[in-house]
Amino acid sequence: MEKISVDHRTIKEGDYVVLKRENVFKAVQVQIKRKVIFEKQWLHLDSVIGQLYGTSFEVAAGGTLQAPKPNPEKNPKETKEAGMDNRNIVDDGRSQKLTRDDIETLKEQGLKGQEIVQQLIENSSTFRDKTEFAQEKYIKKKKKKYDNTITVLKPSTRILALMYHGREPGKICHLRYDTLAQMLTLGNVHAGSKIIVFDTCAGLVLGAVMERMGGYGSVIQMYPGGEPVRAATDNFGFPEHFYKTLHEFPLCKVNLLLDGTLSLDKDKKETVSAVDESNGAMSKAPQDSVQKMGEEVEGEKDSAQASPEVDTMEVTSELPEDKEKEERAARRENKALEKKVKQEEKRKKHLEAAALLQGRNADGLVIAGRFHPTPLVLSLLKFVAPSRPFVIYCQHKEPLIECHTKLRERGGVIGLQLSETWLRHYQVLPNRTHPMLLMSGGGGYILSGITVAMDTATSSGPQKTEEPAPKRQKLQDTES
Partner 1 sequence: MSFVEYGEYIQEGDIAIVFLGRESMFPVKAQHGTQTQTKYGVIRHSSDLIGKRFGSKVNCSKGGWVYVLHPTPELWTQNLPHRTQILYSTDISMITMMLELKPGSVVCESGTGSGSLSHAIIRTIAPTGHLYTVEFHEQRAEKAAEEFREHKVAHLATVKNQDVCKEGFGVVGVADAVFLDIPSPWEAIGHAKAALKEEGKVATCS
For partner 1, give the closer residue by CB, 133 or 422. 422
DSSP state of 88: T
Query: Minimum distance between the CB of residue 115 and partner 1, rounded to whole angstroms?
Result: 30
Applying CB under 8 A, which of residues 215, 294, 299, 375 lies at the interface with partner 1? 215
Contact between 394 and partner 1 (CB under 8 A)? no
Applying CB under 8 A, which of residues 37, 67, 304, 414 lies at the interface with partner 1? 414
Contact between 450 and partner 1 (CB under 8 A)? yes
Contact between 358 and partner 1 (CB under 8 A)? no
Query: Minimum distance between the CB of residue 403 and partner 1, rounded to whole angstroms?
Result: 17
Question: Across-strand partners of 392?
Answer: 367, 447
Query: Minimum distance between the CB of residue 463 and partner 1, rounded to whole angstroms?
Result: 8
Binding to partner 1 (CB under 8 A) within 151-170 occurs at: 156-158, 161
For partner 1, give the closer residue by CB, 181 or 275. 181
Using DSSP, state whether 427 is helix, strand or coil. strand
Contact between 452 and partner 1 (CB under 8 A)? yes
| Alpha-carbon separation of residue 91 from 14, 96, 342 (angstroms) | 50, 11, 66
Rounded CA separation 231/451 (Å): 31
| Amino acid present at 239 | P
The full length of the chain comes to 480
Contact between 363 and partner 1 (CB under 8 A)? yes
Contact between 238 and partner 1 (CB under 8 A)? no
Using DSSP, state whether 223 is helix, strand or coil. strand
The beta-strand segments (E) located in 88-217 are: 149-153, 194-199
For partner 1, give the closer residue by CB, 349 or 382. 382
Rounded CA separation 260/176 (Å): 38
Query: Minimum distance between the CB of residue 464 and partner 1, rounded to whole angstroms?
Result: 11
425: nearest Cα among 174, 230, 162, 226:
162
Compute the C-alpha angle 9/13/18, nearest 5°. 60
> Which stretch in 25-33, 213-221, 309-317, 319-327 sits in contact with partner 1 by CB under 8 A?
213-221
Q: Assess contact for 96 and 120: CB atoms under 8 A.
A: yes
Rounded CA separation 290/279 (Å): 7
Tell me the site size for partner 1, rule CB under 8 A: 45
Query: Minimum distance between the CB of residue 391 and partner 1, rounded to whole angstroms?
Result: 11
Applying CB under 8 A, which of residues 142, 165, 350, 388 lies at the interface with partner 1? 388
Applying CB under 8 A, which of residues 9, 144, 268, 328 lies at the interface with partner 1? 9
- Cα 257 to chain centroid, rounded: 28
Query: Minimum distance between the CB of residue 116 and partner 1, rounded to whole angstroms?
Result: 31
For partner 1, give the closer residue by CB, 295 or 467. 467
Q: Assess contact for 210 and 230: CB atoms under 8 A.
A: no
Rounded CA separation 48/73 (Å): 22
Using DSSP, state whether 251 is helix, strand or coil. helix
Rounded CA separation 26/17 (Å): 8
Contact between 389 and partner 1 (CB under 8 A)? yes
Q: Assess contact for 435 and 424: CB atoms under 8 A.
A: yes
> Which stretch in 11-19, 112-120, 226-234, 383-391 sits in contact with partner 1 by CB under 8 A?
383-391
Query: Minimum distance between the CB of residue 329 and partner 1, rounded to whole angstroms?
Result: 51
Query: Minimum distance between the CB of residue 363 and partner 1, rounded to whole angstroms?
Result: 5
Give the binding site for partner 1 (CB under 8 A). 9, 52-54, 156-158, 161, 177-178, 180-182, 184-186, 188, 190-193, 211-216, 361, 363, 385-389, 414-415, 417, 421, 450-453, 455, 461-462
